[in-house]
Amino acid sequence: HPPSLFAGKKILITAGPTREALDPVRYISNHSSGKMGYAIAEAAQKMGAEVTLVSGPVSISPPANIELISVISAQEMHDAVMAHIQTQDIFIGCAAVADFRLTDIPTHKVKKKAGLLTLSFEQNPDILKTVAALSNPPFTLGFAAETHDVEAYAKGKLERKKLNMIAANDVSSSDLGFNSDRNALTVITKNNTISLPAASKYALAIELLKLLNNEYSANQNN
């Protein structure tokens, strides 16, 4: 891959799942392994960028020569991103962030009892949307994991969250997307839709970053 495409550029990437506590010993989460975000972090670093990786709990090793910030919950991920975003040129939201958290987290382990257990949830902050709404935002690339109508939903997110680019991920097939070593993406910008066919997450990260660089450079010249 082109070694100096991102020379002098700072890129912040979120990766992995978040965990939302249900009590001191339980949580809800999702199937994100962090592989896609970590592959992007590794490729961006090798392409010359200074990379900050804000990661939820994963079991894979971080790439070399990047700054890793480990977090657990969506709120922690939000706070870590916001603490570092001002100096970034590019933000890539690859994490599968929990949309909701428990309204009140019990301080003691919840005991088994007869009948139904009802839990109440409130919304987590939308990290990507918050970053894109900054007064001087970095270039933003979001992801959209969908099981159906992938392109239409992704396009909606691109416009609603005011992003520069979105990578739509069809997660309806089990051999691509979440947790797998391979993925396929449909990359959508205001004027273009480009399909990146199934490949290893690292190979895909390189192709995605090349597209991002084209779009980023065109943006800088405007």
Which residues have a catalytic role annotated? 30
Exactly one of 43, 47, 165, 171 binds ligand PMT (CB under 6 A); that residue is: 171
- Among 14, 13, 59, 16, which residue's Cα sits nearest to residue 178? 16
Asked if 23 and 101 touch (Cβ cutoff 8 Å), the reply is no
CA distance 61 to 3: 22
The reply, when asked if residue 72 is annotated as ligand binding, is: no
# chain residues binding ligand PMT, by CB under 6 A = 28
Instruction: Tally Cβ neighbours within 10 Å of residue 4.
Output: 9
How would you write 124-138 as a 3-class SS string? CCCHHHHHHCCCCCC
**Which residue in the set 70, 179, 200, 214 belongs to the binding site for ligand PMT (CB under 6 A)?**
179
Asked if 36 and 77 count as a contact pair (C-beta separation under 8 A), the reply is no
- Scan residues 28-87 and list those touching ligand PMT (CB under 6 A): 32-36, 74
Output 89 or 126, the one with its CB closest to ligand PMT.
126
Token digits of residue 135:
């007064």
Angle at 189 between CA 37 and CA 81, to 5 degrees: 40
Binding characters for ligand PMT, 3-32, by CB under 6 A (x = yes): -----------x-x---------------x
Q: Is 142 in the site for ligand PMT (CB under 6 A)?
A: yes
Stretch that binds ligand PMT, among 41-49, 110-118, 119-127, 186-194 (CB under 6 A): 119-127
Of the candidates 85, 18, 40, the one whose C-alpha atom is nearest the C-alpha of residue 196 is 40
Give, as ranges, the residues between 183 and 222 that touch ligand PMT (CB under 6 A). Answer: none
Known binding-site residue numbers for CTP: 93-95, 99, 109, 125-128, 143, 157, 161
Enumerate binding residues for ligand PMT (CB under 6 A): 14, 16, 32-36, 74, 93-97, 99, 124, 126-128, 142-145, 157, 169, 171, 177-179
